Structure 1
Amino acid sequence: MGRLKVRLILAFLSLILLPIGVTGSLLQLQSSELEEKERSYRDSMNELESTIKRELTQTSVSDLELNALVNQYAAEINIKDAEGETVFTSYKDPEAAPHNEAIVDSSTLFHVQAEDGRILFVELSSQLPFTDTILRSILISVGSGLIALILLIIGWTWYISRTILSPLKEIYAATEEVKEGNLDYPIQYRRKDEIGKFIRGFNTMRTHLKQSQEKEEQFKEDRKQLIANISHDLRTPLSSIKGYVEGLQDGVAQTDEMQEKYFRVIRQKTDQLDHLIEDLFQFSKLDLRQLPLDQQFVDSRVFFQSLLDDAVEDGKSKNVCIDVPRQIPSVTLSLDPVRITQVMNNLTENAVRYGADSIVISTRIDHDESNFTISVKDNGEGMEKEELTKIFSRFYRAEKSRSRESGGTGLGLAIVKSIIEQHGGSLWADSELNYGSTITFTLPFLKKELV
């Protein structure tokens, strides 16, 4: 049963049972007090009867001071002899009787042999002043029950308003805010009842909507940036190719050496165009989450040794020293060889693009986290600390003019990040301006296969 339902049932039962309980308890208490009071009064009357019998057997009627007893016990005494003649009639002091109070009469008749031998008949009338007391007790009990009911109604109204109606008002207000496009409107409610579950669901929905909105805005921004980059990045090499082709057509390059230079530049620009188009193609797959992986089980030492040997030879052709200082650890990795090769090529090319002529590639294994870790450290230009959080974003360029001249689209590191994350690894960067950068990524390995 839900907590909200329990609270409502408790409220309903308490509104019925508690006032009844208060009224019944007070009636029971008042009844006990009335019984005790009546018992005490009866005892007083018995004591008065005993006193009268004792006085009549020991003292003549003419010497009795019965009026004092009458006033003391609030009773009336009539004494007659055997012939029916009145011997004594009491006089009751009006000041001694209860005022403004209904009474119940109780009479007792008994006979006594007087001191002079006569048989006297005594009628003792007592007054029980309890009717008003009973009515007052009933009124107090019922009134107390009504007060308890009113207090309960006020208390439960405040509680339900605070725990149910107020959250519902907040939900309505938040719904209006969300409808108007304001997604920064969380609802604070800590109870774990049905309303709490609903509010947590609402906050989750609001968060997802906000994330979707942010992704959509980022998507639109990426598209705008993509169009701007394509406009500039494709126009530059195409303009160069067009210029050199026109030069060849116009006979500007008259010698074999000049023609060879023109053809070499055209080839470089077409390679640059090919690189740009490939990055855009990879980006489109990345954007659609269709970047395919063909994972295989490989030995890290065998795979990376072959990969880095090729990288070392390629670096020599570019006058870049690529060093692998230690032997590569041997563990079993599940990876896509083509994609990881793309990652390594991208990282080394990126280092060269930003001025590196020396690259150190180190590898290690983290036993506790079951990770194979690769670090690519260069002596290039480096970057400032605030740029480190941006370099894996799409279209970001640490130095835009230089990147465009060298053919960068700002997509390379974003593609690298996506590939590593699809392999279940992580990627981060460390850098210092003018002292180079280090980019590190991890790949999980099968722990049982550790050598």
Structure 2
Amino acid sequence: MGNNRVSNNYLNKKIDIFAGLICLFVILSVIYSFLILKEDIKKEDKSNLLRIETSSQRELIKEMFKVNSYYMKNDFYDYTVINLEGEVIFSSIDDFNKGEKINLENEIGYDNAFDNRKNGLIRYSTPLVNDEAQKGIMIIDLPQSILKKESKNEKIIPLWILLFFIVILAVMINKFVKVDIIKPIKELHSSAKAILNGSYKCKINYDYYGEVGEFCHDFEAMRGEMIDSKEKEERLKRNEKELLACISHDLKTPLSSISGYVEGIRDGIVNDEDGIKRYSNIILKKSKELSKLIDDILEQSKTELNEMSIERTEIYSDDYFKEVLGDLSIDVATHNMKLDVKGQLPRALISIDIIRINQVINNIISNSIKYSRSGEKIEIWVDDEIDKITVNIKDFGSGISIDDIPFVFNKFYRGEKYRNTNISGSGLGLSISKYIVESHGGNIKCSSSLESGTTISFTILKI
């Protein structure tokens, strides 16, 4: 948590510094604009002063013959004085010579007019009036920077517009950084800390575009994979515990029986040939049960690791079932039961792993024999459907409680009724069968009721 706060404070500090720089820039820009305004005011004051000086010159020029030419030449601006006869009285402008005659109407056709000239000067002409009578004309060359000033607003408005857009840009950048970068980074950090502490449930609620959004998406995908991996690891640990518990329970019964019968033979409890043969047959039977139990455990381990291989062979369904059911009829008969094949076997081309499907049917038949009484029958029939065939195996044994049906395909599950009985079995047969059927693209289901028997049905896809 301490590192999280330091990281967040660092990012927030960066944002605050950035915002502070923007504010400083705005303040400096405002100060600069006021300095420009102040400079314009100074220029205007200077212009007014120059106009006053020019007016003073005009007052002097009213008495032009009383002012010597030296003073005129050293005046502030270049100018020319012309009397009403068109004679140049004085001129510091190169375009006019003292004493020359000019046509006033052609040369100066307007009063108080501005005549644009080159070299950054504006030629300005104005009448010389004394006692309400015009005595002459004065022409002055003035700098454009004095007479042709821009409006203060024309200079300030673009600056304020620029400042406005800078502020808008700063707000947008601030929002982008805080919402689209800092927020998802904080969520990523929180989720990473949670994962580090063993919790994988801290989801990132992201809706971001660009690289940040892609990174959040990839992080969520990684988190999902980690959740799956964690769940698989926990499931394997549970399975290991269940496996150890079931092995210790299910192996104990046949081993105890074998041990007991061997001790009976050794201790002379039976010493006749028939008794020894009977004990030997029981020992052989228990040994086979033990071998079957170990095989089931190995098969279940393969299903857990997804290492059970499926090697398909194309075969017609009727040919396959005739062969497998013929062998099963003999096995069922040895338990004083009958296998009844109902209806016609459909002829459809299927692709199956023959050994694995045999294993499925044997597991189901074995359960039917185990939970049925001697002399009962087991029915089997195959339904022909459009894209698949359905194999149905029904017994008339003790049945399964409705509460147990959802769990019959779970590994090690044997039902409450038979959990503590002497009926052999690992509780893995139907779990393995389910894995095999689903590996072929089919499905398997169970329907049953107590004392009415059980039906197991599974499907095989047609080619």
TM-score, structure 1 length as denominator?
Answer: 0.64
Structure 2: any 5+ residue segments left out of the alignment?
1-82, 86-121, 139-146
Change (3 A) 1:82 1:221: closer
Match of 2:340 in 1: 323
Counterpart position of 1:252: 269
Aligned to 1:353: 370
Letter in 2 for 1:166: K
Q: Which residue does 1:5 correspond to in 2?
A: none
1:206–1:299 CA distance, 2 compared to 1 (3 A): same
Paired position in structure 1 for 2:426 = 409
In the alignment, is the contact (CA less than 8 A) between 1:375 and 1:441 conserved in 2?
yes
* Residue 262 (1) aligns with residue 283 (2): no
SS in 2 for 1:202: helix
Amino acid at match of 1:343: V
Aligned counterpart, 1:275? 292
2:162 counterpart (136, 142, 145) = 145
Alignment of 1:240 with 2:261, yes or no, is: no
SS of residue paired to 2:455: strand
The offset of 1:379, in angstroms, is 3.7
How far apart, CA to CA, are the structure 2 residues paired with 1:106 and 1:396?
113
Equivalent of 1:314 in 319, 331, 355: 331
Aligned to 2:381, which of 362, 371, 376? Answer: 362
How many angstroms apart in 2 are the aligned matches of 1:400 and 1:282? 25
* Cα gap change, 1:221 to 1:119, in 2 (>3 Å): closer
Give secondary structure in 1 for the equivalent of 2:298: helix
Asked if the contact 1:372–1:445 (Cα under 8 Å) also holds between the matched residues in 2, the reply is: yes
**CA deviation string 1:270-304 (max 9, x = no partner):** 22212212212323433444323332211111101
**Superposed CA offset, 1:219-275 (max 9, x none):** 122222222222222222121222222222333235665445433432332222122
**1 CA distance for matches of 2:295 and 2:370?**
17
1:344 aligns with 2:355: no
**Aligned residue number for residue 197 of structure 1:** 214
Go from structure 1 to structure 2 and tell me whether the alpha carbon gap of 1:259 and 1:207 turns closer, same or farther (over 3 Å shift): same
Q: For residue 298 of structure 1, what is the aligned residue in structure 2?
A: 315
Counterpart of 1:293 in 2: which secondary structure? coil
- The separation in 2 between residues aligned to 1:427 and 1:261, in whole angstroms, is 40
Is 332-341 or 156-165 further displaced after alignment? Answer: 156-165
Q: Secondary structure at the match of 1:298?
A: strand
Pick which of 218-227 and 319-328 moved more.
319-328
Distance in 2 (CA, whole Å) between partners of 1:195 and 1:438 is 56
2:441 corresponds to 1:424:
yes
Contact 2:399 2:449 (C-alpha < 8 Å) held by counterparts: yes
* Structure 1 residues 4-37: Cα deviation after superposition (integer angstroms, max 9, x where no partner): xxxxxxxxxxxxxxxxxxxxxxxxxxxxxxxxxx
Distance 2:161 2:451 in 1: 86
1:34-79 deviation per Cα after TM superposition (whole angstroms, max 9, x unaligned)? xxxxxxxxxxxxxxxxxxxxxxxxxxxxxxxxxxxxxxxxxxxxxx
Q: Distance in 1 between matches of 2:396 and 2:209?
A: 56
Deviation at 1:419, TM superposition (A): 1.9
Shift of 1:432: 4.2
| Match in the other structure for 1:396 | 413
Query: In structure 1, how many angstroms separate the alpha carbons of the residues matched to 2:350 and 2:279?
Result: 46
CA distance in 1, matches of 2:217, 2:200: 15
Cα deviation, residue 345, structure 1: 0.6
Q: In structure 2, how many angstroms separate the alpha carbons of the residues matched to 1:434 and 1:303?
A: 32
Q: Which moved more, 1:437-446 or 1:356-365?
A: 356-365
CA distance in 2, matches of 1:277, 1:380: 26
Call closer, same or farther: CA 1:197–1:400 in 2, change over 3 Å: farther
Distance of 1:436 and 1:198 partners within structure 2: 57
Alpha-carbon separation, structure 2, partners of 1:247 and 1:298: 50
Asked whether the equivalents of residues 382 and 431 of structure 1 are also in contact (C-alpha less than 8 Å), the reply is yes
- Mapped partners of 1:197, 1:313: distance in 2: 64
TM-score, with normalisation over the residues of structure 2? 0.63
SS of the residue aligned with 1:405? Answer: coil
Classify 1:406/1:173 alpha carbon distance in 2 versus 1 (closer, same or farther; 3 Å): same
Cα distance change, pair 157–400 in 1 and its aligned pair in 2 (3 A): farther
1:222 to 216, 239, 251: 239
Q: Distance in 2 between matches of 1:265 and 1:391?
A: 29
1:159 aligns with 2:176: yes
Secondary structure at the counterpart of residue 155 of structure 2: helix
Mapped contact 2:300–2:432 kept (Cα < 8 A) = yes
The whole-number CA distance in structure 1 between the counterparts of 2:447 and 2:354 is 26
Distance 1:133 1:432, change over 3 A: farther
For residues 189-217 of structure 1, give each alpha carbon's deviation from its aligned partner in whole angstroms, at most 9, with x where no partner exists: 23453323222222222122121122112
User: Does structure 1 conserve the Cα–Cα contact (< 8 Å) formed by 2:190 and 2:202?
Assistant: no
Change (3 A) 1:190 1:366: farther
Question: What root-mean-square deviation, in Å, do the aligned CA atoms of Structure 1 and Structure 2 show?
Answer: 3.8
| Partner Cα distance (2:208, 2:220) in 1 | 14
CA-CA distance at 1:437 after TM superposition: 3.5
Q: For the structure 1 residues 145 and 435, does the alpha-carbon distance in structure 2 shift closer, same or farther, using more than 3 Å as the test?
A: farther
Give the superposition deviation at 1:139: 2.0
Bigger Cα displacement from structure 2, 349-358 vs 330-339: 349-358
Equivalent position amino acid for 1:363 in 2: V
- 1:12-161 equivalences in 2 (<5 Å): 109=126, 134-161=151-178
CA distance in 2, matches of 1:203, 1:320: 58
Secondary structure at 1:395 match in 2: coil
Alpha-carbon separation, structure 2, partners of 1:134 and 1:433:
104
Aligned residue pairs, count: 338
**Code of the aligned partner of 1:203:** E
Task: State the AA in 2 paired with 1:361.
Answer: I
Does the Cα contact within 8 Å between 2:443 and 2:458 map onto a contact in 1?
A: yes
Residue aligning to 1:93: none
